[in-house]
Structure 1
Amino acid sequence: MVLFAEATIAGLQHAMEQGECTSFQLVRYYIERIAAFDQQGPGINSVLELNPDALHLAEAADAQRRLGQVRGPLHGIPVLLKDNIQTADNMHTSAGSLALKDHYAGEDAFLVKKLREAGAIILGKANMTEWANFMADDMISGYSSRGGQVLNPYGADLFAGGSSTGSGASVAIDVTTVAIGTETSGSILSPAIHNSVVGIKPTLGRISRSGIIPLAHSQDTAGPMARTVADAAALLSVLCGYDPQDAATGSAAGLEEPDFTVHLDKDGLKGARIGVPRSEHLDPLTDEERELFEGLLEEIREAGAVIVDPVEIPSLEELSGHHSKVFYYEFKADINAYLSRLPDGLPVYTLAELIAFNEAHADEALKYGQQVLIRSEATSGKLTEPEYLLHRLADLRLSRTEGIDFAMRKHQLDALLFPNTAGDEIAAKAGYPSIAVPSGYLRSGMPFGVMFTGGAFAEPMLIKLAYAFEQLRPRRKPPVLG
């Protein structure tokens, strides 16, 4: 239906309020597109599992609307979840792993409870890079032994982005209104840019991690993926909240934002001070990418922003040579804690058992190996080890004190601007927010994007800037699916 194509949350809510469509029709539309374009046709393979209750939930949402019982801002809106996010329903939570293919969670993740409270329809689970791409050195992004390979809808031979690949691709091909991804370092921002959608990696602590299969607690966070900044902001508003089961959420006390959409300002670039870090230690650009980025900078300048270029980040050289082992220690500690709490009857309850399971099922489970898992298991897993502690402190110093905080303060900036995901690592180590926004396409068809990054809890400013940038002119083009 034309009404549903590339539809926004606000547009759908208005249509449902006016009786022009129903949530049931919307869910049916997405199911039809999943069959036609995700599982057949170009076979993008972004959806790992469809919620068997999705149509029933949509009918219930429609009945509640008729009774005037609209539950929240996402009432009747379908949301797809990355497969490492627990749902206490008839879907699995496996992180793409065959070892957890039979795992049914006993409790919703905290963010899933928030979605249900807001009236959202949990449409299904998105495919992902297995174990959030913390399994093998040569793992292809978007591949999981349980779900197979996610393709980039803009070209099957193009890079599909970080581990929230299915979440990004599903939004791009319009088989869901919005999706949730998770990021440890680049796993929301990268698939957002490479699938030409909007991704918000929030400040660590904005969104609870309770009920999400972990990678590393010092950097893990969930975040929204959408086709517009407005939809991403609306979804972020629902996901946030204090959770006593996740101590990091206490850091947002006093900084709560009940509605991030109030920061959608089409004139938000006027007077904003935006810094452009340039360094050989950031991802190098091709001549084509550089030309495109310079043109975008000029557009932003013409919209009234003050472009501070270049901006010095003194820690970049040291950071690029700092091979932190934080992930190895934290993954072993965090995944052992998570697996130990799983229900009886599953084949793995420790990282060591996971490695053994994969070896016993090597033909199916080890297409790319498991060197990363083995290196993590080789650590003590004790978070009192001097090596771990010193590396963690170095990460914070290089990313915050001598990194983003230094640059923002020295140049009195509202945000940093990076081409593609050039600054995702430093922002991830700092636990600071970034927003990826579609910005054009290369001759190969590969999407190009920019990333606005700020200091802790700078989401309101970043949403303001990203929305204003988005409104300058149409940039995102839906992929041609045949």
Structure 2
Amino acid sequence: MSAHGSAPDDIVDEATIEHLQRGLLAREFSCVALVDAYLERMARWDKRGPMLRAVLALNPGARELAADRDAALAAEGRLSGPLHGVVVALKDNCNTTDMPTTGGSLSLEGTVPASDSAVSRKLSDAGAIVLAKTNLHEFALSGTTVSSLGGQTLNPYDLTRTPGGSSGGSGVATTMSFVTVAIGTDTVNSIRSPASANCLVGLRPTRGLISRAGIMPVSETQDTVGPITRTVSDLARVLDVIAGYDPDDPVTARSVGRVPASYCASLNYDALAGKRVGVLRSLSGDEPRHLAVNTAMTGALQVMRDAGAQVLDLHDPCIDAAALLRTGDVQKWEFKQSFEAYLRSLPQSDVRTLGDVLACGGYHKETLHEFLVQANDIDDPEHDSEYLGRLAAHDRLRVRVLELMAEHALDVLAYPLQKCLVVPVGAGGQAERNGILAALTGFPALNMPMGFSKPDDNAPLGVPMGMDLLARPFDEPLLLGLGYAFEQRTRIRKPPLHTLWPD
């Protein structure tokens, strides 16, 4: 194929970074052709056919950026950076100066920030092409991915179900090969939930590993940014680019000396051998609705045993997701102050306070109103005894988790990200998720596909389910090695059966 020809659908469908860059170097296709192929997939399935509603905005300069990458390759004979030609979607709470950043809210429709987020800038500097902004649960405040601006994003494996959230648009864009990889944010579950529900790999990194500068905030204590990909290898390649210290996010000073030369070096087929995995049984359910997830978890743990890992059951009543969420989550106390500081940074915006958002009514009232009103009533969290008590509880939880791991000589903890299948559209909030453990400790957690439920008329492949592996701070190389070994042995990833949908 000519380097300036069209990239057929099978080139970008399920394509990895390595595969695409090999094709670019061999002049089998161009970056412009890749962008066109991804745009064609979006046009076919996001706004037509099943109308997945994953994408909120397209970069009007994407083809020009792609042409620049092609010119650089032609002139230099080599890739311009480690992510040359990689087409990326950003969750629409990540600032970009070439597209609006809205948080999915009508109250911020058309708002273009004055500067790019750190993640967007690092990706572009590495040669990536940011093609799209994705739908999210508005302001990243819940888990079913519905917003006043973008509507309800659908799960492509079962169009009657939600895609997880809040980074559901990034998850759907990745699983549908609308892009090569995507970026999400995670305050409680929000990267790993759509990874689990869309048969993807998602990393909530150690707090402080990746800069949050230029990200629409929810919680200073709990917010993180991370990749959502189809393979562990792609995730490692993205992490190599976006990890590290950024003076605009002082928390990243914790990462100094803790970032390896390359996360790709940790990808090892035999990484599970000799590792000790603790299974948090308190994070599984025992009702009929939990059967599919429990069955998948049993199979996943057997794969680990067969690969040489020692798997231990742990029963710790202190680690109960519902209780941790009820007594430890601090979003309500931290949202207003951080969010209003972000609003004040926006140029030419009439919305400067949380009160302005409430007054204009341009938000998804059914899912957000109660939280926004409660958050708006909190003016001085630093002198709120409940808030301070919750922060103190985070410290106790960190110690408890580390103590548990030390007592049993564990390398990682394992649990299903969600005890039951991702919920149907219109069922209310997302159900029985376990991501709060990583959110409150700040420890890294990697979500891996672990299977599908039984197929039915709505879900011809079944509904995907994911397993979290949680490690000590800055043990991302360990997680990626274990995830890679698991992935290579199971090959669970399957794309949605989009051939069943009319164009």
Question: For the superposition of Structure 1 and Structure 2, which TM-score range results when normalised by the shorter chain?
Answer: over 0.9
Structure 1 CA distance for aligned equivalents of residues 351 and 155 of structure 2: 32
Alpha-carbon separation, structure 2, partners of 1:75 and 1:132 = 29
Structure 2 CA distance for partners of 1:10 and 1:283, relative to 1, 3 Å: farther
Q: Residue 337 in 1 paired to residue 366 in 2?
A: no
TM-aligned CA distance change 1:5 to 1:185, over 3 Å: same
Tell me what 1:473 maps to: 490
TM-score if structure 2 supplies the norm length? 0.90
**Aligned-residue RMSD, C-alpha:** 1.9
Q: Which residue does the alignment assign to 1:225?
A: 228
Q: Distance in 1 between matches of 2:473 and 2:340?
A: 29
Give the distance between the partners of 1:321 and 1:76, measured in 2 at CA.
Answer: 40
Deviation for aligned residue 1:312: 3.6
2 CA distance for matches of 1:292 and 1:343?
A: 48
CA distance in 1, matches of 2:154, 2:241: 29
Give the counterpart letter for 1:412 in structure 2. Answer: A
Determine if the alignment matches structure 1 residue 109 to structure 2 residue 117. yes
Pick the aligned partner of 2:327 from 320, 323, 326. Answer: 323
Q: Tell me the distance in 1 between the aligned counterparts of 2:234 and 2:321.
A: 37
Q: CA deviation at 1:71?
A: 2.5
Give the distance between the partners of 1:423 and 1:286, measured in 2 at CA: 13
Distance 1:183 1:283 in 2: 27
User: In structure 2, do the counterparts of structure 1 residues 441 and 115 end up closer, same or farther at CA, with 3 Å as the change threshold?
Assistant: same
Q: Deviations for 1:19-62, whole angstroms, at most 9, x for unmatched residues?
A: 11111111110000000011111111111111011111101101
8 Å contact from structure 1 (residues 282, 423) kept in 2:
no
Q: For the residues of structure 1 that align with 2:479 and 2:327, how far apart are their CA atoms?
A: 29
**2:35 pairs with 1:31:** no
Match for residue 137 of structure 1? none
Q: Is 1:4–1:29's contact at 8 Å kept on the other side of the alignment? A: yes
Amino acid in structure 2 at the alignment position of 1:294: T
Query: Does 2:85 align with 1:76?
Result: yes
What residue number does 1:309 align with?
A: 313
Per-residue deviation, 1:282: 6.6
Match of 1:392 in 2: 391
- Give yes or no for the alignment of 1:161 onto 2:164: yes
Instruction: Note closer, same or farther for the CA distance 1:353–1:215 as it changes in structure 2 (3 Å cut).
Output: same
Check if 1:455 corresponds to 2:472: yes
Q: Does 1:45 align with 2:53?
A: yes
The Cα shift of 1:321 comes to 7.6
Q: Distance in 2 between matches of 1:234 and 1:153?
A: 26
Q: Contact conserved, 1:420 with 1:450, CA < 8 A, in 2?
A: yes
The whole-number CA distance in structure 2 between the counterparts of 1:162 and 1:177 is: 19
Structure 1 position 202, deviation (Å): 0.5
Flag the 1:318–1:213 CA change in 2: closer, same or farther, 3 A. Answer: closer
Deviation by residue 1:57-90 (Cα, 9 ceiling, x = unmatched)? 101101001111632110111100000000122x
**Counterpart AA for 1:211:** G
Mean CA deviation greater in 238-247 or 365-374: 365-374
Between stretches 52-61 and 156-165, larger displacement belongs to 156-165
- Cα pair 1:330 1:383 within 8 Å, conserved: no
* Matched AA of 1:334: S
Contact 2:145–2:163 (8 Å) recurs in 1: yes
CA distance in 2, matches of 1:383, 1:215: 16
Matched, 1:88 2:97: yes
Q: Distance in 2 between matches of 1:133 and 1:389?
A: 21
Q: Which runs of 5+ in 2 are unaligned?
A: 1-7, 419-432, 456-461
Instruction: Give 3-state SS (helix, strand or coil) of 2:89's partner.
Output: strand
Post-superposition CA distance 1:185-220 (Å, at most 9, x none): 000000000011110110111110100000001010
User: What SS does structure 1 have at the residue aligned with 2:303?
Assistant: helix
TM-score of the superposed pair, with normalisation by structure 1: 0.93
2:367 & 2:302 partners in 1: Cα distance?
A: 43
Note the C-alpha offset of 1:381: 3.9
1:114, 1:238 within 8 Å by CA — same for their partners in 2?
yes
Contact in 2 for aligned 1:281/1:316 (Cα 8 Å)? no
- Superposed displacement of residue 366, structure 1: 2.9
CA distance in 2 between counterparts of 1:215 and 1:369 reads: 13
Q: Which amino acid aligns with 1:121?
A: I
Q: Which residue of 1 aligns with 2:408?
A: 411
Instruction: Quote how far apart the aligned CAs of 1:439 are.
Output: 1.6
What amino acid is aligned across from residue 374 of structure 1 in structure 2? Answer: V
Q: Say whether the 8 Å CA contact 1:281–1:317 is kept in structure 2.
A: no
SS in 2 for 1:70: coil
Per the TM alignment, residue 259 of structure 1 is displaced from its structure 2 partner at its CA by 1.6
Residues 131-184 of structure 1 deviation map (CA, whole Å, 9 limit, x = unaligned) = 1025xxxxx711110111100000111231020000001101111000000000
Counterpart for residue 399 of structure 2: 401
The answer to whether the 8 A contact 2:157-2:198 is kept is yes
Gaps of 5+ in 1: 135-139
Change (3 A) 1:369 1:464: closer
